[in-house]
């Protein structure tokens, strides 16, 4: 494991940050300049906390070891307030309430764990994400992990990526199902075979936010030797031609739109010839990175008795995936709303050490334990149960994705956690018959889609509507979103309801779907067939926010008892 003492660059970065922190404390460093410096280290401001910060820990590809999980538990316990970490949709880990005076000590601790916060924010290439089932899925043409690892290693601290017009997000997928959501990334890379040879389909120009776009295929097949040159060509074009004047038009998707997809892809192929001719990027060497080593434990000498209890059976039906390696399974530990405590991190670390060969953070805000011998499954289930992490329904209706929202984010309008908690109560009550059905709910606290609401079966994002001199916290509901490799269908706007009425809205929508659908009809297919009008009629009476004067509870957001105040400002996610 690399530590800061082994890595002189990491140590030099910490020394520089320490000097800048001292200068800022002494009033010798401008606040705006200091903001740009700290954002290079994934250090964000927190709403309402002048001297405390959120720190985003970069987990490359989402791959994390048992030792790192244990170390992260210690970090959360020692440095944060509250004692809680949050798994993000980019497979990172965010921690909150870190005192400004302890930032350098925190980052040094992370470096000693082989982790960094560099380029977890700013106009750079963010954490490269990877399908958590890479290397174990039965339908993958080959393991895409070494290529993702090579790209991640090459781009971190690369001078080319330090001052881009806006952030760039890259995702790798090897399965036929688009777990990594490649089509909604600035750059998506999918494994593909041509005449039995390994290669890729590379897409560019995808993204969510207030104007979602699907990526465009650069060429029909790209060989491994040209993977890095192709990605570098995309980044070079973006660096030169991306809009640096209008922040809202600065993402790569707008450059692709401006040039036209065909012209952009043509220019990428031309630029790649320059990259290739100069051998810029040490393309072949960078892809020699070894994939993370996974050492599964030996099966138990006597096969464990697998419980026939209903709870274990339900858990197994939704949270287990048999690997292509005989005798092993991947286990999803559902992390409610993406929040995890130090005690739970320690427990997951111990389970990973004793019963698994590796672990991955997922973009659905869960943790996947890999290479679990099937003879260990009962022990893993019982261990998760003791950690309150044995809820079944992974990847189903009850498994909600949500961003942190106004609990911490400067840009957010509403508090998605409060809404998610209300939904959770419904899944154990009014919606319990369908909690394990294959539907997705994703919630964001504003239109920026950090919670991926655009690609959910049912998505929510926070808005505020004025009534008199006050604002009512509301959610815009979208329906019918989904992705596939190379494809994206974004949710259609269904209705806008006050936050307090959103639980009733989801109850009605889900109930209507299950009562009216055709046999085995997916929610997306249902929306395509019946259209918006019938679903809008189901929630129409919930949409009126003007009666808030007669119902003062509508002026209160879910997750708090305080009257709602519109405080959303300029966020720091792209500074």
**Inside any domain, residue 125:** no
Whether 298 shows a pLDDT value over 90: the answer reads no
Residue 184: domain span: 144-286
294 or 180, higher pLDDT: 180
Beta bridge partner(s), residue 148: none
Phi and psi angles of residue 322, each rounded to the nearest 5 degrees, phi first: -70, 135
Q: Looking at the structure, do residues 526 and 442 belong to the same domain, yes or no?
A: yes
Q: Confirm whether 377 is domain-assigned.
A: no
Average pLDDT of the segment spanning 251-264 = 98
Contacts of 427 (CB under 8 A, 6+ apart): 393, 397, 398, 435
Q: What CA–CA distance (Å, rounded) separates 446 from 384?
A: 33
Both 158 and 23 in one domain: the answer is: no
* CA separation for the pair 465, 3 (Å, rounded): 50
| pTM more than 0.85 | yes
432 and 528 belong to one structural domain: yes
Cβ proximity of 488 and 184 under 8 Å: yes
Residue 236 lies in a domain: yes
As beta bridge partners, residue 93 has 57, 87
We report the CATH number of the domain holding residue 34 as: 3.90.480.20
What is the tally of structural domains in the chain?
3
pLDDT digits (tens, 9 = 90+) for 404-456: 999 999 899 999 999 999 999 999 888 899 999 999 999 999 999 999 999 99
Higher pLDDT, 131 or 299: 131
What pLDDT score was predicted for residue 3? Answer: 46
Mean pLDDT across the chain: 92
pLDDT of residue 296: 87
| Residues 363-379: b if buried by 16+ CB within 10 A, e if exposed | bbbbbbbbbbbbbbbbb
**pLDDT of 457-513, one tens digit each?**
999 999 999 998 899 999 999 999 999 988 999 999 999 999 999 999 999 999 999
Q: Which of 248, 270, 286 is the last residue of a domain?
A: 286
Overall average pLDDT of the 67-76 stretch: 98
Shared domain check, 407 and 550: yes
341 bridge partner residues: none
pLDDT of residue 547: 82
Beta pairing class for 63-64 and 358-361? antiparallel
Q: What is the mean pLDDT of residues 189-208?
A: 97
pLDDT tens, residue by residue, 518-538: 999 999 999 999 999 999 999
Is 317 inside any structural domain?
A: no
Q: Of the ranges 212-221, 248-257, 403-412, which one carries the lowest mean pLDDT score?
A: 403-412
**Own/partner long-range contacts of 64-68 (Cβ < 8 Å, ≥24 apart):** 64/359, 64/360, 64/361, 65/1, 65/292, 65/352, 65/358, 65/359, 66/349, 66/350, 66/352, 66/353, 66/356, 66/359, 67/1, 67/113, 67/349, 68/113, 68/114, 68/115
pLDDT of residue 286: 53
- CATH number where 482 lies: 3.30.413.10
The pLDDT value given to residue 245: 93
Mean pLDDT of 251-275: 97
């Amino acid at each position: 494991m690399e530590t800061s003492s082994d890595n002189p660059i990491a140590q030099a970065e910490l020394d520089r940050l320490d000097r800048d922190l001292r200068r800022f404390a002494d009033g010798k460093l401008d606040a705006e300049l200091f903001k740009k410096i700290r954002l290079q280290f994934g250090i964000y401001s927190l709403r309402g906390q002048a001297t405390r910060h959120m720190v985003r820990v970069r987990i490359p590809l989402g791959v994390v070891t048992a030792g790192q999980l244990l170390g992260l538990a210690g970090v959360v316990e020692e440095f944060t307030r509250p004692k809680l970490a949050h798994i993000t949709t980019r497979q990172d880990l965010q921690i909150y309430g870190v005192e400004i005076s302890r930032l350098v000590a925190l980052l040094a601790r992370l470096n000693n764990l082989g982790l960094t916060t560099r380029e977890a924010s700013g106009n750079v290439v963010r954490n490269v994400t990877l399908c958590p089932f890479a290397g174990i899925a039965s339908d993958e043409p080959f393991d895409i992990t070494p290529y993702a690892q090579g790209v991640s290693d090459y781009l971190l601290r690369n001078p080319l990526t330090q001052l881009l017009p806006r952030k760039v997000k890259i995702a790798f997928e090897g399965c036929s199902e688009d777990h990594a959501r490649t089509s909604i990334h600035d750059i998506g890379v999918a494994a593909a075979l041509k005449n039995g040879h390994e290669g890729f389909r590379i897409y560019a120009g995808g993204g969510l936010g207030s104007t979602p776009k699907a990526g465009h295929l650069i060429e029909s097949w790209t060989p491994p030797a040209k993977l890095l040159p192709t990605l570098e060509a995309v980044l070079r074009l973006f660096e030169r031609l991306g809009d640096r004047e209008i922040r809202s038009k600065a993402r790569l998707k707008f450059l692709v739109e401006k040039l036209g997809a065909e012209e952009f892809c043509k220019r990428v192929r031309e630029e790649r010839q320059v990259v290739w001719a100069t051998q810029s990027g040490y393309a072949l060497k960078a892809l020699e990175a070894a994939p993370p080593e996974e050492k599964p434990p030996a099966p138990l000498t006597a096969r464990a008795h697998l419980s026939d209890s209903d709870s274990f059976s339900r858990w197994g039906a939704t949270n287990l995936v048999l690997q292509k390696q005989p005798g092993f399974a991947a286990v999803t530990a559902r992390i409610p709303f993406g929040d995890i405590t130090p005690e739970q991190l320690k427990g997951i670390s111990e389970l990973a050490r004793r019963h698994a060969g590796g672990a991955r953070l997922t973009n659905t805000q869960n943790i996947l334990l890999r290479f679990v011998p099937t003879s260990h499954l009962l022990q893993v289930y019982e261990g998760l149960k003791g950690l309150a992490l044995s809820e079944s329904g992974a990847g189903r209706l009850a498994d909600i994705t949500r961003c942190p929202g106004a609990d911490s984010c400067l840009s957010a309008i509403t508090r998605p956690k409060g809404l998610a908690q209300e939904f959770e109560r419904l899944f154990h009550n009014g919606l319990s018959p369908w909690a394990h059905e294959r539907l997705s709910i994703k919630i964001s606290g504003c239109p920026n889609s950090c919670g991926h609401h655009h690609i959910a079966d049912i998505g929510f994002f926070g808005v505020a509507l004025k009534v008199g001199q006050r604002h009512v916290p509301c959610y815009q509901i979208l329906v019918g979103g989904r992705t596939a490799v190379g494809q994206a269908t974004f949710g259609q706007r269904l209705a806008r309801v006050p936050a307090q009425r959103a639980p009733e809205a989801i109850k009605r929508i889900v109930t209507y779907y299950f009562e009216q659908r055709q046999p085995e009809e997916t929610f997306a297919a249902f929306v395509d067939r019946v259209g918006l009008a019938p679903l809008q009629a189901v929630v129409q009476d919930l949409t009126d926010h003007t009666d808030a004067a007669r119902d003062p509870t509508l002026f209160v957001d879910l997750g708090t008892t305080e009257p709602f105040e519109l405080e959303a400002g300029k966020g720091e996610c792209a500074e």
